[in-house]
Structure 1
Amino acid sequence: MTASSGGLRQYLTQSGQCSDPWGRYYTSAEISRSLIERIEARKPKLVLELGSGAGSLCMAAANRWRDAQLVTVDVDLEAPKRLDVGHIGRDTKHIHFVHDALDEALSDKIGLCLGTVDVAVCNPPYIRPRWRCDFGKILEDAGLSGALASLRDAGADLLFLAQNLRLLRPNGKLGLILPDGLVTAERFSGVRKALMRQHKLEQVIQLPRGVFKNTEAQTYLAVLSKMAGETEQVKVRQMKHGGCLSAAIEVPQDLGAKRLDYSFHARPSVQAREGTVQPITIGAAVTNVVRGTICSSAIAAFPEPVFHLGDFAESAGQQAARIVPKRFALGKRSATIASNHARLALPGDILLARVGRKLERHLALVVHGPCVISDCIFALRTTDEHRERLYRFFESEAGRLALATSAHGVAARFLSKTNLLEIEF
């Protein structure tokens, strides 16, 4: 409504719907070559790929470093057949092992001593393995056990990263394809900080969505040198669909610990957008942020109407306000009863979507009365001084860009309260 003006399989708990049973999205030849080209290693003797899958990364590595010994590991019994089809092994020194890449004793099982690999490349699966006690040892050996609030937050991406670090020699190179979480999520800020303090994180490249078949997951290329000195600045770039790269942005360590995605750091500053207008953060402009508690599956059974993602109206431009329809407004008695079982948005609150692929386009103003909001909605409570300016900001292209680049997530994007409050307008 608008108103004018005013092996490993047994340990898995889940995998992606469009991935294979091990949660893998296979790397294209173009992305594989792009990652290998960005690893500065002239003549490595030993190159390793854990979770080799269809062999795209190891084929690219074999083409570049023809004299290197190539070692691949994958739990999938079909992996050797895929590697043979890809001609890995013809004119290449290649050994493949069918084994769980997250075995804490992997080095003994495949005959490689810890700290001996010159170059490691990896596209980890997008899964959360069922926790095993030896995962803690892998994280500890890699210097990452203290970087997490809970060790059980570690998914396969972080565990594969840690396992590669264990096997790499000092100054060895690691090239990874990473999901959005390790690059942008708040809960992994400690991991990013630990990696930059212990290693030289050379570059992070944000890939276009859709580069992996059957998924819109946001992914990144990352290259680091093990124990090659502390990272003072990280080069972040963006790759276009045609393969060309943006100019690099130098991100200092403190900001890199916060986030490492190009889209976030390339966002124009408020000063550049507004000229002489003094910027403030959303956190300074709001008195409270209320997140709804009714999940989507419980909406139909709730006795009062619940404002949810599908109830946001389309934008009618800067001159019109999008208002929550009257049918969601509760009377005084109904609001009192509903407040015992749900969280309410109050008149004057600005509603934003907390989750969704296009969350930045969802905006509404509560006018007619209190309403129940779902757990996919944030209600921003602010003063008369800031309400109109804040609403107009969210309705603007600059505001939508700020919300879009502050959100993160592998496929389904979400906006955290912390990231929301840090936005300047």
Structure 2
Amino acid sequence: MNNLAQFYTHDNFSKLLLSKILAKNPKRVLEIGVGGGSLVRAAKKKWKHSDIIGGDIDSMNVSTLKEEFPSIKLFVINGLSSHLREDLKLELGSVDVAICNPPYMTIKKSDEYGKILEESLLGCLDSYSQLTSDIIFLAQNLLLLKEGGELGIIVPDGLLTCQRFSIFREKLLSNYKLTGVIELPSKIFKKTEAKTHILIIRKSVCSSLSLPIYLANENGTIASKILVKKSALIYRMDYKYHSWKKNSNQKTSNSLLDLNVDIMRGSRSKKQLESLQINYLHTTDLKNEYCECEFPLHKTIDYLRYAEEGDLLMSRVGKRCIGKLMYVIKGNIPISDCIYRIRIPFEHRAKVISSLNSKIGKEWINAHSHGVCAKVISKRDLLNYQVTY
């Protein structure tokens, strides 16, 4: 990744992406954001006689690839611009195949982006609580594709798993044919543990009731495949979650919401708590295995959130500490905003703790955690956790 929020694609995963595109002899192939050229090289090898067009915001990338591939039309462009088609000298609906590994960053909403979203049938600007560059890149590609054209694009985990992007998933499934979703391993990009997926999209309406979801291994080959009902993909699109759901056959009683469980996270960050020079709990204080701890009875500060006797604590965010559990048997202590404080009515406490700490509970946490780098469990998902017995 560079300061333009670009993650450059590994050759194995470029080949994997192109292997899922069915077009045999596309006349025109486009890549917005050529980066280090991995996708372009794979495309040139697969479609030797196709007209390949590419662009990048980094002029150095464009110059380097021009030297390597003099026959390819390359431009210095901004993939987020509403003038993209003019900059690429292309008409809307004129591209047979598009391939893309866009930058991943939050962008400020604008009327320009709203128009791109609406024209690409991905919803209106007000439907998105947060807008990211990968969504606009995807929309730009869809606008440039002809009817029946195919797009292969690498997207961040959050786009397929976070609740705030459910409108994107709904619009995509309603207006286009999603021919495959491939979950990629973590750590496939240099200097980052970014979690990503490949989407293969055909510019046509899909009548299928089920769609294939794949899992790729570190070598860039498909390790597993499941079919998932199209309607279920609005909630989440990742293989990890749907594989867990398909193989999960445990008996359940009620959700945490049904049991009137109260879930809150700490009110201050680790840095803010450190500045107060007081004892507090952060995710690094929770052990890998479930533990029970006693604390002194501290004088409380109004604006801090405390764990107290009878509370169950859970790491809600982190790279490797997600879902760690601690039970407070005595005293109180402030908690950071990376920890959930779970207050369970006494009559349900034992079975809830036992369920969350069980193998099934840990598998549930793994399946429901999501995020590009650090993983997170949403409060909404946790409240819907079905207590097993």
TM-score, L = length of structure 2: 0.93
Residue matched to 1:265: 242
Match of 1:100 in 2: 78
Equivalent residue, structure 2, for 1:145: 123
Q: Please tell me the residue identity of whatever aligns with 1:300.
A: E
SS in 2 for 1:145: coil
Structure-1 separation of matches of 2:49 and 2:151: 19
Where does residue 280 of structure 1 map in the other structure?
A: 254
Which residue pairs with 1:82 in the alignment?
64
How many residue pairs get aligned? The number is: 387
1:202 aligns with 2:179: yes
Secondary structure, aligned partner of 2:93:
coil
Corresponding position of 1:307: 281
Paired residue for 2:327?
A: 365
**Structure 1: distance between partners of 2:321 and 2:382:** 12
Distance 1:230 1:165 in 2: 19
Which residue of 1 is the match for residue 148 of structure 2? 171
Q: Return the alpha-carbon distance in structure 1 between the equivalents of residues 316 and 215 of structure 2.
A: 25
The one-letter code sitting in structure 2 at the alignment partner of 1:88 is F
Deviation at 1:53, TM superposition (A): 1.0
Tell me whether 1:322 sits opposite 2:291 in the alignment. Answer: yes
1:207 CA displacement: 0.6
Distance 1:361 1:137, change over 3 A: closer
CA distance in 1, matches of 2:2, 2:196: 17
Match of 1:9 in 2: none
Q: Indicate the larger mover: 102-111 or 35-44.
A: 102-111
Q: Which residue of 2 aligns with 1:318?
A: none
Displacement, 1:148? 5.5
User: Displacement, 1:131?
Assistant: 4.7
Give runs of aligned pairs for residues 21-420 of structure 1, distance below 5 A: 21-84=3-66, 87-89=68-70, 93-146=71-124, 149-150=127-128, 153-230=130-207, 232-267=209-244, 272=249, 274=250, 277-302=251-276, 304-315=278-289, 322-327=291-296, 329-330=297-298, 334-335=299-300, 338=301, 340-420=302-382
Shift in Å at residue 345 of structure 1? 2.7
Task: Give CA deviations for 1:309-366 in whole Å, capped at 9, x if unaligned.
Answer: 1221342xxxxx6123414x43xxx24xx2x212233322211011101233511012
In the superposition, relative to structure 1, how do residues 173 and 389 fare at CA in structure 2: closer, same or farther (>3 Å)?
A: same
Matched residue type, 1:356: G
Cα pair 1:148 1:191 within 8 Å, conserved:
no
User: Is this contact kept in 2: 1:123–1:178, CA < 8 A?
Assistant: yes
Contact 2:95 2:146 in 1 (8 A): yes
Q: Deviations over 1:32-91 (max 9, x none)?
A: 011001011122111100001111111111111112111001111112233145x334xx
Amino acid aligned to 1:359: C
Identity %: 31
Change (3 A) 1:269 1:73: closer
- Kept in 1: contact 2:322–2:375 (CA 8 A): no
Greater strand fraction, Structure 1 or Structure 2: 2
The separation in 2 between residues aligned to 1:270 and 1:262, in whole angstroms, is 12
User: Whole-Å Cα distance in 1 between the matches of residues 126 and 332 of structure 2?
Assistant: 39
Q: Distance in 1 between matches of 2:19 and 2:247?
A: 36
- Find the aligned partners of 2:135 and 2:90 in 1 and give their Cα distance: 21
**CA pair 148-214 structure 1, distance change in 2 beyond 3 A:** farther
Q: Could you tell me how far apart the structure 2 residues matched to 1:246 and 1:124 are? A: 25
Contact 2:16 2:221 in 1 (8 A): no
Q: Which moved more, 1:294-303 or 1:178-187?
A: 294-303
C-alpha contact (below 8 Å) 1:147/1:194 kept by paired residues: no
Structure 2 gaps of 5+ residues are: none
| Paired AA for residue 322 in structure 1 | C
Q: CA RMSD in A?
A: 2.1
Greater Cα offset, 258-267 or 396-405: 396-405
Could you say what secondary structure the match of 1:102 adopts? coil
Alpha-carbon offset, residue 197 of structure 1: 0.3
Q: Residues 67 and 266 from structure 1, CA distance in 2 versus in 1: closer, same or farther, beyond 3 angstroms?
A: same
Q: Report Cα offsets for 1:270-304 as digits up to 9, x if no partner.
A: 862x4xx4443233234211211011111123375
Distance in 1 between the 2:10 and 2:247 partners? 38
For 1:360 and 1:140, locate their aligned partners in 2 and report how far apart those are by CA, in whole Å.
37
Secondary structure of 2:205 counterpart: coil
| Distance (whole Å) between structure 2 residues aligned to residue 188 and residue 373 of structure 1 | 29
- Deviating more after overlay: 51-60 vs 232-241: 232-241
How many angstroms does 1:308 deviate by? 1.4
**Please, which runs of 5 or more residues in structure 1 have no aligned partner?**
1-18, 316-320
Give secondary structure in 1 for the equivalent of 2:261: strand
Deviation at 1:234, TM superposition (A): 2.4
Alpha-carbon spacing, 1:147–1:260, altered in 2? closer, same or farther (3 Å): farther
* Segments of 4+ moved more than 4 angstroms: 268-271
The residue type paired with residue 293 of structure 2 is V
